[in-house]
Amino acid sequence: MRVLQIITSLMIGGAEHLVVQITQMLRNQGYEVDVCLFDGEETAFYRELESSGCTIYSLSKKRFFYNPGYILKLRRIMKGYDVIHTHNSSPQLFAAIANVGLKKRLVTTEHNTDNRKRKNPLLRVIDRWMYERYEKIICISPKTEERLRIYLKNNNTSIRLITISNGIDVTSFQKAQVAYDIHPTDRIVITMVGAFRVQKDHKTLIDAMNRLPRAKFQLWLIGDGDLRDKMQDYAKQTLHKKDIIFWGNRADIPQMLRTSDIVVLSSHWEGFGLAAVEGMAAGKPVIASDVDGLREVVKDAGLLFHPEDAGELASLIMHLSKDASFYEQTAMQCRKRALNYDISKMIEGYKNVYEQK
């Protein structure tokens, strides 16, 4: 079976990581899986897939995701595959249009509980048409499915919705080596992994850093994206260069998280919060914003704070840093929770979808 994964780019992010994992694991099990990108920038994820022998189609080298010219290019590429699996809004729409007359099997993964386009009545009409083109709509968490059903308002498409919870290779995080050479000897490292976009709300985490004692903490931000320069400029206004490191895209996420002390996700919304599970699997206490998608993963294991509340976030970080017993208890709870999200269950779910006739 030949499967084509279509996604906007391979920047650091949950959807991008999922595509890399699915592609590699299914290829190891005998499936022919290739990837098509709207933005073919050669990131760490890109190089990782390329080195494994995966064919990568790049429609452009620019971060412009709604170029109508992609539709004809997609159509030519899609002809050679049995299953077309899309991720993110523009690939979902353009693949649906490109498939008119081709009649390829379309599958999509819904990665978020919310997005800005759902507030536009015109886009709702377009979305309904688009989702009707898909044989299966895979939601990465029960809350993601619930919110999409509400958005579609009993549209016929709703019967095609299923949930396959995200998963990770827990063992790779458990066994990752700590990089002592990059961990400061006199600071506690707080890490967030995620693309620099509105959804992730890096600003709240930077604001929390400003409420913490100087020279005691160091913030690591891993990822890239359109808002990176803006966040770097914002951080320069109040933080010393030793207080924060912008690492960009990295392929060694397990090692970076194992080297960290506390993992934070300050998102406005999430479909699942893969980075939270990764932090847990690395054995670190995770602090996350109390929003759909993250709440279900983190509650009763890690710690939750009200979205955009930098003061509350700073207080939780201080509590972990001052109370060793509380730190160890939270880390242990997180390690146990991560075991619920082993990748093998997720892969079997996707295989079942692909094999359905």
Q: What is the pLDDT of residues 196-239, one digit of tens each?
A: 999 999 999 999 999 999 899 999 999 999 999 999 999 999 99
DSSP H or E stretch at residue 315: helix 310-322
Q: What is the pLDDT of residues 306-350, one digit of tens each?
A: 999 999 999 999 999 999 999 999 999 999 999 999 899 899 999
Backbone angles phi, psi at 109, to 5 degrees: -115, 130
Quickly tell me which residue has 């595509």 as its tokens.
Answer: 19
The sheet carrying 2-7 orders its strands as: 56-58, 32-37, 2-7, 83-87, 105-110, 136-139, 161-163
Determine the average pLDDT of the residues in 251-267: 97
Q: What is the band of 70 on the pLDDT scale with cuts at 50, 70, 90? A: very high
Backbone angles phi, psi at 94, to 5 degrees: -70, -35
- All domains of the chain, ordered by start, with CATH? 2-167+342-355 (3.40.50.2000), 170-341 (3.40.50.2000)
